[in-house]
Structure 1
Amino acid sequence: MTEIATRKTVSETEARRANRAWWDLDADDYQDEHGNFLGDVDFVWCPERLREAEAGLLGPVPGKKILELGAGAAAASRWLRVQGASPVALDLSAGMLRHASEAAGRSGVHVPLVQADALALPFADDAFDIVCTAFGAIPFVADSAAAMREVARVLRPGGSWVFSVTHPMRWAFWDEPGEDGLVVRNSYFDRSPYVERDEQGRVTYLEQHRTLGDRIRELVGAGFVLRDLVEPEWPEGHQQIWGQWSPLRGRLFPGTAIFVCDLPA
């Protein structure tokens, strides 16, 4: 099937349908390619291999109720469970949650799994102490500002919201790990999403772009206070390529942005 890549705004309905279908179909390949890197019981924030065990971005987690958005195979939620937290792993894709169930069987660490949309979280107000995600949900929804408001709704006052996304400056470059990926080819200020469509014009895959300023305005608009913005450096000796992430690019400019936010009490 021929895929046609464009930059064109899509509706939230198109985005939701494409995201669910893509990740259901790609779940097996994704886990085959990245499962060893992510582990069964580990919390890896990004391809730069920054782990929550080292970074401590969530703060103390024992006894905390934690929601992981876009959890995928839920390795991070299982790691949080081992640390003494009470996590819930949520994802739109049944295919990814199937891998979460299989990994729970392998590891013996079980967490509640919920299939739901990040824009309509099936939880009461003030239900969680922490909400987090490593590259889940936020880069894919058309109305990410609404997702921020929904996170704020289910987070108790005084709670934290921590999420990682592709660093916005990467939008200006092609998604290439080699030298072709070192040349600016796109406008950083072009917010139209990257969209792939099939021959019938149906959206099959998309990623959204927001500038750093956009993200901060979304967070402030939802009532959050930004405590930190982490831009992980490429670690010495790390040679693994993950899509556009590579040692070549990672030594020159950031590939990941991690927003650490609080909901004021």
Structure 2
Amino acid sequence: MTDDSPSSSDLNGLRDHEIRNRELWNAESDRYQARHGGQLAESGGLAWGTTQVPEAELRILGEVAGKDILEFGCGAAQWSIALAKAGAHPVGVDLSERQLDHARTLMAAAGVSFPLIHASAEAVPLPDASFDIVFCDHGAMTFADPYRTVPEASRLLREGGLFAFSHHSPIETICWPIGADRAGETLSIDYFGLHRLEDDGETVFQLPFGEWVRLFRANGLVVEDLVEPRPDPDATSSYRNADELAWARRWPAEAIWRLRRI
């Protein structure tokens, strides 16, 4: 594969939430990288979630050297840059042009090169069975429809390949009132029927635990693990303040799924 700057034809047929989220991320990308880029750089790229738990500790991806890896919603590609340095063959896909601009800047600074594809994770313009690993750390699995991204990840994986992604826990989601800036201590959103959530011009997606499992199984994916990382007592995060970190020590705020393509 070579570095790719697809034409607009690759983005024909975007659905309404894809158009809105693309516009939002293009508008917010500079502020996002200014606010969170330091934490992402400090972790070295290979770390999960809003508190950046090291991959070396969680071992979600396992051995990556020599593997073909797709980052699903790569943003500025901090993960993929670190994977390239570890001997992997990454490809990054993102719907935001501005996020990919940041990725190219960081890649040049790091002295690495790999393909970046401007496309939706719901319709990746790559052949079937292209990858050993498909993953994302929040990213596309938060902002794209899982009824389209899960089949797409399965299609792109080789037999025996790994699909891994972090996401907000459904428990955090149902405790987070629409319009609020954090989760509370009461249930605020109906659990049954979770799918598409609209808040302040942004569209995010979530499913109940059982529906996630049924969707995985319908697409040839077997659950190997579900990790619910708990922040250390002294954890800090550019994504969460002290109250939010305290919440996440009581209840799961994030979930990392590890799945095998059969």
TM-score greater than 0.5 by the shorter chain: yes
- Which structure 1 segments of 5+ residues have no match? 1-10, 198-203
Runs of 4+ residues deviating >3 angstroms: 175-178
CA drift at 1:110: 2.6
Structure 2: distance between partners of 1:240 and 1:225: 32
In structure 2, the residue matched to 1:258 is 256
Counterparts in 2 of 1:12 and 1:97: CA distance versus 1, 3 Å: closer
In structure 2, the residue matched to 1:134 is 137
> Structure 1 residue 43 and structure 2 residue 46: aligned?
yes
Indicate if the aligned counterparts of 2:35 and 2:238 stay in contact, CA closer than 8 A: no
CA drift at 1:63: 0.5
Indicate if the aligned counterparts of 1:64 and 1:129 stay in contact, CA closer than 8 A: yes
CA drift at 1:12: 6.9
Identity %: 32
Q: Deviations over 1:162-217 (max 9, x none)?
A: 01110011122126677x722222222242533146xxxxxx31112211111111
Q: Secondary structure at the match of 1:249?
A: helix
- State the AA in 2 paired with 1:118: A
In structure 1, the residue matched to 2:88 is 85
Counterparts in 2 of 1:54 and 1:119: CA distance versus 1, 3 Å: same
Aligned pairs for 1:48-87 (under 5 A) are 48-87=51-90
**How many residue pairs get matched?**
246
- State the AA in 2 paired with 1:146: R
Counterparts in 2 of 1:161 and 1:217: CA distance versus 1, 3 Å: same
- State the AA in 1 paired with 2:245: P
In the superposition, the TM-score normalised over structure 1's length comes to: 0.86
- State the AA in 1 paired with 2:246: L
CA drift at 1:123: 1.0
Structure 2: distance between partners of 1:149 and 1:118: 10
1:15 maps to which of 14, 17, 20: 17
Q: Secondary structure at the match of 2:53?
A: coil
In structure 1, the residue matched to 2:213 is 216
In structure 2, the residue matched to 1:5 is none
Q: Which has the higher contact order (CA 8 A, sep 6+)?
A: 1
Indicate if the aligned counterparts of 1:241 and 1:247 stay in contact, CA closer than 8 A: no
Q: Secondary structure at the match of 1:95?
A: helix
- Which structure 2 segments of 5+ residues have no match? 1-12
In the superposition, the TM-score normalised over structure 2's length comes to: 0.87
